[in-house]
Amino acid sequence: DQQVKQNSPSLSVQEGRISILNCDYTNSMFDYFLWYKKYPAEGPTFLISISSIKDKNEDGRFTVFLNKSAKHLSLHIVPSQPGDSAVYFCAASKSNFGNEKLTFGTGTRLTIIP
Amino acid sequence: DSGVTQTPKHLITATGQRVTLRCSPRSGDLSVYWYQQSLDQGLQFLIQYYNGEERAKGNILERFSAQQFPDLHSELNLSSLELGDSALYFCASSERPDSTDTQYFGPGTRLTVL
């Protein structure tokens, strides 16, 4: 049972345009969400997170939006740069004590076209 | 460089064998996580240790076991290996045990079972 879904395995975006990566979840108990970025031959690196008490969190070119009623989150990258080409994983957790594990989606491969 | 080291980088072995994967967390991090990434799959949480004690368990097979030593490094033991165990195995570490603390990932160990 895939509780966190990234339905687009790949996405290509022109350099300078906006990249929008989507993620859906099914478990209404999730209250903390993260995006990780992964380059080939490296481990994932943390990008940005959002708590369920917010609907938006911004960090430079990266903004994460959370729509709790739709159980949907998205990552916006603007403007997109060639170095953003990577696989992006969204992850979710229940942040209360004793439920610390992260549940990851299957990833979206983003390619930025120069 | 995340500060998390994993050895070996690659491992090729035969079905039925046993292997040990090693992880050294970032300096100061007490929590260690193990994840498995099979082909076209997201990262599957296996197990978490915090300061030497098992903290949370995910979809870890009975043939797999892990431990965290007093110096905080961790080992993941995989036994009676099957073809389906071929995957990337990532270790991550964090200072606190809760999911809202950023997890830093190592570069992974690629296990191939022939």
Q: What is the DSSP string of B100-111?
A: TSPPEE---EEE
- If you ran DSSP here, which 8-state letter would residue B43 be given? P
Predicted local distance difference test score (pLDDT) of residue A97: 57
Q: And the tokens for B104?
A: 């830093």
**For A62-78, what is each residue's pLDDT tens digit?**
999 999 999 999 999 99
The whole-angstrom distance between residue A100's C-alpha and the CA centroid of its chain comes to 18
Tell me the HSE value of A110 on the side-chain side, using a 13 A CA sphere: 28
- If you ran DSSP here, which 8-state letter would residue B89 be given? E
Predicted local distance difference test score (pLDDT) of residue B59: 83
Predicted local distance difference test score (pLDDT) of residue A85: 98
Low-confidence ranges of chain B (pLDDT < 70): none
Query: For B2, which of A4, A45, A89 is closest by C-beta distance?
Result: A45
Q: And the tokens for A82?
A: 């060639």
Predicted local distance difference test score (pLDDT) of residue A2: 82
Q: Which of B41, B84, B40, B91 is nearest to B61 (CA)?
A: B84
**In A, which residues are within 8 Å of B103 by CB distance?**
46, 102
Stretch 13-72 of chain A: residues touching chain B, C-beta under 8 Å:
32, 36, 41-46, 49, 51
Q: How close, in Å, is residue B87 to chain A by CA atoms? A: 13
Predicted local distance difference test score (pLDDT) of residue B112: 97
Angstrom distance (rounded) from CA A92 to CA A71: 11
- pLDDT averaged over 10-residue windows placed end to end, chain A, 114 residues: 91 98 95 94 94 95 97 98 97 74 92 96
Query: For A101, which of B45, B104, B105 is closest by C-beta distance?
Result: B45
